[in-house]
Structure 1
Amino acid sequence: MKSAVNSFVFLLVCALALWTRLYKIEEPPHVAWDETHFGKHANFYLNRTFFFDVHPPLAKMLIAMAGYMTGYNGTFQFDKPGDKYEDHKYVGMRTFCALIGCLVVPSAYLTVFLLSGSVTASFVASLVIIFDTGTLTLSQYILLDSPLMCFIMLSTCSLAAFRVFHQDKHSHFSLVWWLSMATTGFFLACAISVKFVGLFVIVLAGINTIADLWDLLGDLKLTKLHLAQHFAARALCLILLPAATYLAFFAVHFRILNRSGNGDAFFSSAFQSQLIGNELYNCSVPEYVAYGSIVTMKNHRAGGGLLHSHPHLYPEGVGIMQQQITAYSHKDENNKFLIKPAQQNFSLELNASSPIHYVKSGDIIVLEHIMTRRNLHSHVVQAPLTTRHFQVTGYGENGSGDANDFWMIEVTGGSKGDRIKTVSSVVRLTHVSIGCSLHSHDKQLPKWGWEQMEVTCNPSSRDPNNLWNIEGNINEKLPNGDIDFYRPSFLESVVEAHKIMTQVNNNLKPKEGEITSRPWEWPVNYRGQRFSGVGADTFRVYLLGNPVLFWGNIVWLFVFMFLYVIRAIFLQRGKQESNDVKAYRDKMSYAAVWLFAGWALHYLPFYLMGRVLYFHHYFPAFLYSSMLTGVVVEFVLQSASQLLSSGDWQREVVLYSSGLLGLTTVILTSFYLFRGLSYGMEGPLSDNENSTMYGLKWLDSWEF
């Protein structure tokens, strides 16, 4: 009987998930919020054009595949939110995200059931997730959130299944034991291959694995060989398999994106030499650098920018008001500099009949910015951000300047007189008068510097961020050279990609006018995020959790902590429980603690992060708190109905059922009231009595 009820309820919640996620999936028929980013990324995959993003590639590749399979051709530009899709086939990508978002619900149901054995707990947890407007909204658009939540929940469900098989010693090393552990490892790799937030569920799995191994270590009946087999099995399925899967996704990513694109400049010159259409591909640049060459110089650190200038001056009060010199992560004409000897008649060097003079280590050179004809210059004035360094500017007129434009170029690890090679020579530029070295790092200038990276002159010559290489080299008098040997290995490319992703991710800043938030705001649903539209004449979607469910989760979380502490005190004081009661409470307590740990691991680390944060970062943690709610509700309903029924089992059933029915009614009613947040609001705003949302703006910080 219980099995039949369980199957029916499971199918019911799956059907509800499909209905809520696929309803009105085509609306709005325009770009909403971050679809402008991830739709564009699908274009890049379909066109095989290299790009850079702070997130790993799996979800973006899956979205692109969904678009390809449903007839999308990768031509819509996704320029900005509000752009009409018109005849472009966007619904397939939204449907894929919705379907993969649907998998969150059965995964949550099975997780709670495996941990608690309760159909009611699983049902309540599923209802909270299904009818939360925020989770629903994130599942209906071309975003990374639904794949992320899906793989986190599949990882959690597989881990819970493995825990069940692990507790049955007779199933150790059986087929289902191996499958549950292997699927856990695979889905862990998938989770972190969508966003690095997937690391939190890996930590959850790691804690559980350590606890399992610790228990096994204390089992004196196990032989050393048997114990070693347990260690090896976990190393294989939870370390080697996820690592291989993760690397495989990057291998596919690099294999698809083999054409030069706007992400090239984030990566090293050696990496760029692999991209079809890049100026470094197939030896399309001279091997050596000569005077008269037009060069681009790239900071040699991972994610280093290209030396750059533009006609704008440093503002008043920031050093001397001369032309800005920055580092820029995109290629354009303002990255080009003419390399000149410092103390020669340069007009002779430009004569077509004159001999070629190669730039050598130890030479004194001048770098003239091509677009503005000003020279790279430094002086003993504080840099804008790094005040212990000196300011670097563009100075002079028509290529003429002064002695503060002189730089000595040296090849690191080379000898004086060595020729400077394109790409492969790692060089240091030392200011002749001051003795400082040209330097760049990941500090971004304010708006006046276009948020490009600061370039300074560093008094410390040993800083690795003082190193540069010549990336572009244009000189009609020089033959092209063979640079195949510069290309990095696959693993070197993966390491470089991760260094750049980490660096850029840590420096993310909000877009102009964008609403950011802090972690304390998330559980209390303090502020949402506009997805589409603002005014009364627009189709409006607003990312906000269902307030009844969000606040209910917080209440049940505190109820859990209270009950857990009270029971611990009673047990410590010697209170006795019958075997059946103890078994039930131990099981529910274990399930609740397990899910509470999942919530804490996916929420609390955000307090330590310095990067920009958004409300949608909370939703993986919300899934765990919703599952915890299901477990605590079941425990409270069961305990309260038993207490109030005085041993009358019929009265107990009525009380239990009434409580469950009442809670279900509250969940459904709250969703009905706030459904417009997800499915769209049109007409008057919420402060107008004719609005469908009138009276529902319970907090002033909500913006609908």
Structure 2
Amino acid sequence: MPPATGGGLAESELRPRRGRCGPQAARAAGRDVASEAVARSPKRPARGSRRFEAAGRWALLALVTLLSFATRFHRLDEPPHICWREVQRTEESSPKGFSSFCLFFSPQMLIGLAGYLSGYDGTFLFQKPGDKYEHHSYMGMRGFCAFLGSWLVPFAYLTVLDLSKSLSAALLTAALLTFDTGCLTLSQYILLDPILMFFIMAAMLSMVKYNSCADRPFSAPWWFWLSLTGVSLAGALGVKFVGLFIILQVGLNTIADLWYLFGDLSLSLVTMGKHLTARVLCLIVLPLALYTAIFAVHFMVLSKSGPGDGFFSSAFQARLSGNNLHNASIPEHLAYGSVITVKNLRMAIGYLHSHRHLYPEGIGARQQQVTTYLHKDYNNLWIIKKHNTNSDPLDPSFPVEFVRHGDIIRLEHKETSRNLHSHYHEAPLTRKHYQVTGYGINGTGDSNDFWRIEVVNRKFGNRIKVLRSRIRFIHLVTGCVLGSSGKVLPKWGWEQLEVTCTPYLKETLNSIWNVEDHINPKLPNISLDVLQPSFPEILLESHMVMIRGNSGLKPKDNEFTSKPWHWPINYQGLRFSGVNDTDFRVYLLGNPVVWWLNLLSIALYLLSGSIIAVAMQRGARLPAVVAGLSQVLLRGGGQVLLGWTLHYFPFFLMGRVLYFHHYFPAMLFSSMLTGQHSVGHPLRLCAWSLASWPLARGIHMAGILSLLLGTAYSFYLFHPLAYGMVGPLAQDPQSPMAGLRWLDSWDF
């Protein structure tokens, strides 16, 4: 049997190091196997040799980091125009609007700060992909994202090195991520993805490091890595809700860790309490405190009105400087003749809205559309009138008459002079609901324009308060209640939200409204300062709006959505820039050699892991080398496979629109699995089973070198996808990418 260790590079493959073990459940078995392997090995190297080895490790880490930065910053300035979602992320991060409130938080603030420090003045109008930046400075924002994206490679290298104790496995992992065109593309543009993946990998590395310090609990390194794990979790969640997946992984690891400690009878209950308290403080309290602090800073810095105000409640808008409700004074009670806006109480539904466009043929009655709209607009204005008169209530000769709970009213659309109307025609999208339209000429319609206004939980005759009263509109003829289904209308409805009249009278937020804007020159005004909500209220509301906003996302023109099963097989990419052969084209697609190798590795790991687990459970006595590799395989590989599973399979349950780039956090874990186990260790086992120790070591290193060179060569072939290409498309024999369109679904 060949020895487990030897000189040179392979010497560090299996030798245990103090404080460098994996999950604690396998620690005892790992020590026994490692001891047996060391007993069979040659003499330990001298101190000078160990120093040389340590210097070599640092040199390799520096080389990996340098190569990662070089590939990410190469041609970072190209193309000099907006690519894909840079139009969204950069506009939200613009220093000109840096104080305007938006739906996204810490990442936009960081990108905006990077732009401000690099000379971007915020005067560029981000309208659509393809618009040239010209003289505007954008490199600081791209550079910030590329800087964070560059750290993914060394983080993965260190994680795999700590889990496997194998330099070759760590180098292979680094090569897979360095030479992946997909990771490279995502890191070079102003997107949230490199920021999210940075925090995910930082959390994974920190978790592995504090696991490795388990034999030195409460030491300075243990506390450092445990705290850094909590900080990274807060960062990941602060970027996107996808950060919940890495939080779940760390939580499962912590539960398993505590369960093992609970079974260690040598530990006192006091020590167990310390372990539990430390994890609660660093992995729950610290992330929550940082996450809340991020929002507190956001609310303080971004305190001005912005285009997304309509997503939020009237009380929330009252705290935004520049909003018409901020420091405003409006009449307190609703009166006939008032010009008002009516806002739905369900978050991210918006204002009752109409416009001159009609419902298309075959969609109920061909009358004026009524929708809800999330933004401030003149088409949100309505005039409240009595149902049985057309006289002008604002005539000075008429006394003020307040609207009361139970009154029969008409709502006349101010811009088109059509009344809010309903009838027995079916709603456009929601079955068994009635259509709501705009009907009539100059306010003159029919009895289907009459609505009874009711205040929730109030008695008949009570006045209706602006902003505070929760009201419903009951259609007098059909008995249905006005509401919004929240469903997005097709393009004929300008992708606004459907308004229906529902015969189901149960009180829900979809059918409850409040009066927001209120204009009536005959009434005195009151201040709205008393309506400003508390910090917990705005924190909760902002999260509810973000969740609803994510679930309601729709693809833009020329965007390719995808399904989760497409992602691991690299079935379809995503256009970042350009379409025609005269355009500068960037195409988000993973390096197919890397991705298909990852897919093969997952299958190999599941197969080999199952065989080894069954053999060990049946009491089979494995050779020392095989046993040592098996412990590493089941121990570290399980962590990485869990990360891939948690970051991939939840997307099958999501109802929102999905894109190819959503898979890349999971791809990081599959690449680590490839480098760590499913390729490196099978190669080593096959080599040792077929040859003597010196020859086996050579075969193993030749196999690893072949994988490294093959990955680098595939990057050479496909690098134009990331760095840009001009000229004929791939199907043209004259194209530089001719012959590389291996799947018909690739569109470059």
TM-score between the two structures when normalised by the length of structure 2: 0.91
The CA distance in 2 between the partners of 1:480 and 1:17, in whole Å, is 62
CA drift of 1:434 comes to 2.4
Residues 149, 509 of structure 1: alpha-carbon distance in 2 compared, 3 angstrom cutoff = same
Task: Give the match's secondary structure for 2:330.
Answer: coil
Q: Which residue of 2 aligns with 1:238?
A: 283
Q: Which residue of 2 aligns with 1:97?
A: 145
What's the C-alpha RMSD, in Å, of the aligned pairs? Answer: 1.5
Check whether the contact 1:46–1:68 (CA below 8 A) recurs between aligned residues.
no
The CA distance in 2 between the partners of 1:47 and 1:222, in whole Å, is 53
The CA distance in 2 between the partners of 1:581 and 1:458, in whole Å, is 68
Check whether the contact 2:95–2:121 (CA below 8 A) recurs between aligned residues.
no
1:594 aligns with 2:639: yes
Q: How does 1:500-539 map to 2 (within 5 A)?
A: 500-539=545-584
Q: Which residue of 2 aligns with 1:58?
A: 106
1:11 aligns with 2:59: no
Check whether the contact 1:45–1:257 (CA below 8 A) recurs between aligned residues.
no
The CA distance in 1 between the partners of 2:305 and 2:261, in whole Å, is 52
CA drift of 1:577 comes to 2.3
Check whether the contact 1:279–1:285 (CA below 8 A) recurs between aligned residues.
no
Paired amino acid for 1:600: T
CA drift of 1:308 comes to 0.5
The CA distance in 2 between the partners of 1:131 and 1:574, in whole Å, is 42
Q: Which residue of 2 aligns with 1:372?
A: 416
CA drift of 1:350 comes to 2.3
1:37 aligns with 2:83: no
Q: How does 1:165-564 map to 2 (within 5 A)?
A: 165-166=213-214, 168=215, 171-347=216-392, 349-464=393-508, 465-564=510-609
Q: Which residue of 1 aligns with 2:32?
A: none
Identify the match of residue 161 of structure 1 among 203, 209, 221. Answer: 209
The CA distance in 2 between the partners of 1:449 and 1:668, in whole Å, is 50
The CA distance in 2 between the partners of 1:248 and 1:182, in whole Å, is 16
Paired amino acid for 2:74: Y
Larger CA deviation: 675-684 vs 18-27 = 675-684
| Unpaired runs of at least 5, structure 1 | none
Paired amino acid for 1:71: G
| Unpaired runs of at least 5, structure 2 | 1-49
Report percent identity of matched pairs. 51
Q: Which residue of 1 aligns with 2:159?
A: 111
Paired amino acid for 1:34: R
Check whether the contact 2:360–2:366 (CA below 8 A) recurs between aligned residues.
yes
CA drift of 1:580 comes to 5.5
Task: Give the match's secondary structure for 1:430.
Answer: strand
Q: Deviations over 1:89-130 (max 9, x none)?
A: 001110110001011111111111111111111111011001
Check whether the contact 1:297–1:470 (CA below 8 A) recurs between aligned residues.
yes
Task: Give the match's secondary structure for 1:193.
Answer: helix
Q: Which residue of 1 aligns with 2:31?
A: none
CA drift of 1:286 comes to 2.2
Task: Give the match's secondary structure for 2:527.
Answer: coil
1:642 aligns with 2:688: yes
Paired amino acid for 2:476: V
Check whether the contact 2:426–2:435 (CA below 8 A) recurs between aligned residues.
yes
Larger CA deviation: 480-489 vs 218-227 = 218-227
Task: Give the match's secondary structure for 2:619.
Answer: coil
Task: Give the match's secondary structure for 1:5.
Answer: helix
Q: Which residue of 1 aligns with 2:6?
A: none
The CA distance in 2 between the partners of 1:183 and 1:624, in whole Å, is 20
Identify the match of residue 192 of structure 2 among 144, 147, 159. Answer: 144
CA drift of 1:575 comes to 1.8
Aligned residues: 695
CA drift of 1:196 comes to 1.0
Check whether the contact 1:442–1:503 (CA below 8 A) recurs between aligned residues.
no
Check whether the contact 1:437–1:457 (CA below 8 A) recurs between aligned residues.
yes
CA drift of 1:578 comes to 4.3
Q: Deviations over 1:343-388 (max 9, x none)?
A: 24523x1212432222222221110001111101112232222222
Check whether the contact 1:45–1:61 (CA below 8 A) recurs between aligned residues.
no
TM-score between the two structures when normalised by the length of structure 1: 0.96
Please list every run of at least 4 consecutive aligned residues from structure 1 whose deviation after the TM superposition is greater than 4 angstroms.
578-581
CA drift of 1:325 comes to 1.1
Check whether the contact 1:409–1:430 (CA below 8 A) recurs between aligned residues.
yes
Check whether the contact 1:297–1:468 (CA below 8 A) recurs between aligned residues.
yes
Check whether the contact 1:128–1:626 (CA below 8 A) recurs between aligned residues.
yes
CA drift of 1:44 comes to 6.3
Q: How does 1:678-693 map to 2 (within 5 A)?
A: 678-693=722-737
Q: Which residue of 2 aligns with 1:24?
A: 75
The CA distance in 2 between the partners of 1:44 and 1:608, in whole Å, is 37
CA drift of 1:581 comes to 4.3
CA drift of 1:579 comes to 4.8
The CA distance in 2 between the partners of 1:44 and 1:612, in whole Å, is 29
Check whether the contact 1:309–1:324 (CA below 8 A) recurs between aligned residues.
yes
Larger CA deviation: 114-123 vs 126-135 = 114-123
